[in-house]
Structure 1
Amino acid sequence: MPEPRIIPITPKASPKPVTEGSRWTPTLTASPPLSLYVHYPWCVKKCPYCDFNSHAVRDEGIPEAAYIETLVADLESALPQIWGRRVHSIFIGGGTPSLMSPDGLDELLTAIRMRVQLDPLAEITLEANPGTVDSGRFRAFRQAGVNRLSVGIQSFNEAHLQALGRIHGRTDAIAAAEAALTHFEAVNLDLMYALPGQSLAEAEADLVTALALGPQHLSCYHLTLEPNTAFAANPPEVPDPDASADMQDLVESRLGAAGYGHYETSAFAKPNRECRHNLNYWTFGDYLGIGAGAHGKLSSHEGILREARPKHPAAYLAARQTGEFAQERRWIGAEELPFEFMMNALRLNQGFPRRLFAERTGLPFEAAEGALLKAMKQGFIEVDGETLRPTVRGRHFLNELLMLFLAA
């Protein structure tokens, strides 16, 4: 599961948190939980639907040693920002991190353990592409310290995989899932629906195959035609909104009946098998992002800071010469915090406790109360004691719900 999308940030950082336009001043009483995101930007080839920071491998290959050295230098440069804080999870995403050699991964994780205060029970996730792995490679990744694998299946249908530009087929997908479940106790399978030419029966067939494999976690995404992708430039014919909605209903009902809790917009898990790293994103925790194009969110007594690394691998590698890895920095102003918090927390179907807003933003609950009342009147949010959660209507119209907080 890739890192969450955030609002673009500006090149220059304000010297202090911006609070103009708001009568509130953020005051955090404790640091939120901290995670580490590591971005690995290379893929065998670029998929036509993908708008993430990924780059096809060129003839000269991947500069793995130089990249790992740069990741370590990046981490070291950021240590003063996280000094004394425990890291509760690591997510290595991409791109295709399973292209990394087992020895390289072992070197990277060893370097991380030597430099940060890593929770002994930390969740350490690696994303994998079925076309780049085998059982022996999975075994080596587990020995290196990875304890959760996220496998980008997308579909088990040969025609749909071809339409998506994937480098694997149905047999590869099943073999990769079986190997992952052999070597890891925590496995996520990524599936997509509303694919070009996909019928409801075909979407159901993908679910049946995935459920038969028995992963602990499933991520089911609606295909979207994102800007600046090959699909955006040459759109394929996809199911209409009614057919797509039927597929979404099918996903939710079939996985619910199979014992998977629908705990986040696109995430389903067996009991106590939720992705802890992504839960930290959605509860507005902190995360340090290292690697080409990685984003981070870090809280301190000065406020809450967004950061981004240089996007292109060559530019990121060059940053090691200057030691200036954070290409972009921006403080989150008090007037923005309600939206930033809700953009994450309202993805959680079970909602969030009222106190969490103040704990993670440093603002009193009143700063979001006006927008919340509007959301309740429009049927987007319901209150159960101290818990606020999106209604079914709120989940289906999440963008409209979030817009209410832009003016909070």
Structure 2
Amino acid sequence: MPWCVKKCPYCDFNSHAVPEGALSQSLEQEYLTALVEDFKTQTQWAQGRAIHSIFIGGGTPSLISAQGYAWLFDQLQAIIPFQKHCEITLEANPGTLEHQPFEDYLKAGINRLSIGVQSFDEVHLQRLGRIHSGDNAKNAIEQSKKAGFQRVNVDLMHGLPEQTLEQALLDLQLAVEQGATHISWYQLTIEPNTVFFRTQPVLPHEDTLLAIQEQGEAYLKSKGFINYEVSAWRKEQPSAHNLNYWQFGDYLAIGAGAHGKFTQGDGIYRFQKTRLPKDYLAQVPASTVNLQKIQNQDLPFEFMMNALRLNDGVAFELYTQRTGLDFKTISKQVEKLQQQKLMQPHRLACTPQGHLFLNSLLEEFL
């Protein structure tokens, strides 16, 4: 869902300011109809498999009405069936939730929320260009729980411009106290083609960043959260959708700028959809662009780049299942890294030491 009320200065996602400040009912329906037509063109890539998870990202997906999502899910299930307990996650912005109660999204079939809080601190929210307040964020988490959502992820960033250790830890504390069952906690990075890249805000010193990381992790562990992926902490089951990414699974992709991956007889392919919403809507179904086969020599790195983000890694046999390659194509590198105590002996997984040097470790598979 590619629209936002306004673009944040750190954001390099495919998001665009909503036309005339609000999403009209006619534009919403036009876009949802285009998504359905897009989906119809991808049925052959599903190869008989049911949909086991859906992640609605953006942009700000909570700009779309609950009734719109209910209609969309009905249409999609008529094309490819959903599994009985299909996980459907909606990314929601605390600043755009007031127009529709959480109960309506739950009734529409959405059973997991990912609330884009980023920070509870008013000064940091202003610097980040967010349109919500700290109280909005607390209220959104509280209301989602009252509505009946059992699974609520809170997105938080740390290492914000001029952020102190105490401020970063307070953000975590507030998320936990409000009842988050899953926390995506990641460090702000300055990406090209963003306002922050051009203005270069003052970021915390490296010593402060290290202290935030170490003390933040210790705090989350003390509160019963499990760090199952580099930036993901859970009290409930993992995000099924993200787990599929990290385990190098296949995924379809509909919507402006969406990226997908599928496996067929002659190999593994990635693809992208037309990026700009106006172009996406100008041609229905929208074009598939950048459809490319992943070359066999690139598969070891692609697979390991995802799998080693998981703290528990994956079973050895998943490598062949997902890439189609013999394990011998990586066995020497794995054995070397095991001898260096950077990888575990019985799984494709990093040791604690290996996680500290993950980027260097991955270079072994290039």
TM-score (norm 1): 0.86
Q: Give how far 1:388 is off.
A: 2.5
Counterpart Cα distance in 1 of 2:209 and 2:283? 44
1:311 equivalenced with 2:271 (yes/no): no
Contact 1:150 1:189 in 2 (8 A): yes
- 1:265-300 alpha-carbon deviations (Å, 9 max, x no partner): 100001x42101100100011100111111111011
Q: Give how far 1:83 is off.
A: 3.8
Kindly, what percent of the aligned residue pairs are identical? 46
- Does the residue aligned with 1:373 lie in a helix, a strand or coil? helix
- Does the residue aligned with 1:151 lie in a helix, a strand or coil? strand
Q: Which has the higher helix share?
A: 2
Contact 2:5 2:22 in 1 (8 A): no
Contact 2:13 2:59 in 1 (8 A): yes
Residue aligning to 1:58: 19
Which of 128, 132, 136 aligns to 1:164? It is 128
Residue aligning to 2:324: 362
1:350 equivalenced with 2:315 (yes/no): no
Which of 187, 196, 219 aligns to 1:254? It is 219
Counterpart Cα distance in 2 of 1:377 and 1:226? 36
- Does the residue aligned with 1:402 lie in a helix, a strand or coil? helix
Residue aligning to 1:241: 206
Contact 1:358 1:365 in 2 (8 A): yes
Counterpart Cα distance in 2 of 1:209 and 1:396? 28
Alignment of 1:87-126 (within 5 A): 87-126=51-90
- Does the residue aligned with 1:232 lie in a helix, a strand or coil? helix
Residue aligning to 1:396: 356
- Does the residue aligned with 2:180 lie in a helix, a strand or coil? coil
Gapped runs of 5+ residues in structure 1? 1-39
Residue aligning to 2:302: 340
Q: Give how far 1:396 is off.
A: 2.7
- Does the residue aligned with 2:36 lie in a helix, a strand or coil? helix
Residue aligning to 1:13: none
Contact 1:192 1:220 in 2 (8 A): yes
- 1:51-107 alpha-carbon deviations (Å, 9 max, x no partner): 111111132743211111110000011112214111110110011000001221111
Query: Greater shift after overlay, 298-307 or 131-140?
Result: 131-140
Contact 2:111 2:151 in 1 (8 A): yes
Q: Structure 1: which amino acid aligns with 2:68?
A: G
Contact 1:374 1:404 in 2 (8 A): no
- Does the residue aligned with 1:316 lie in a helix, a strand or coil? helix
Which of 171, 187, 190 aligns to 2:152? It is 187
Contact 2:315 2:348 in 1 (8 A): yes
Residue aligning to 1:146: 110
Gapped runs of 5+ residues in structure 2? none
Q: Give how far 1:137 is off.
A: 2.4
Contact 1:135 1:176 in 2 (8 A): no
TM-score (norm 2): 0.95
- Does the residue aligned with 1:352 lie in a helix, a strand or coil? coil
Contact 2:14 2:275 in 1 (8 A): yes
Q: Runs of 4 or more off by more than 4 Å in structure 1?
A: none
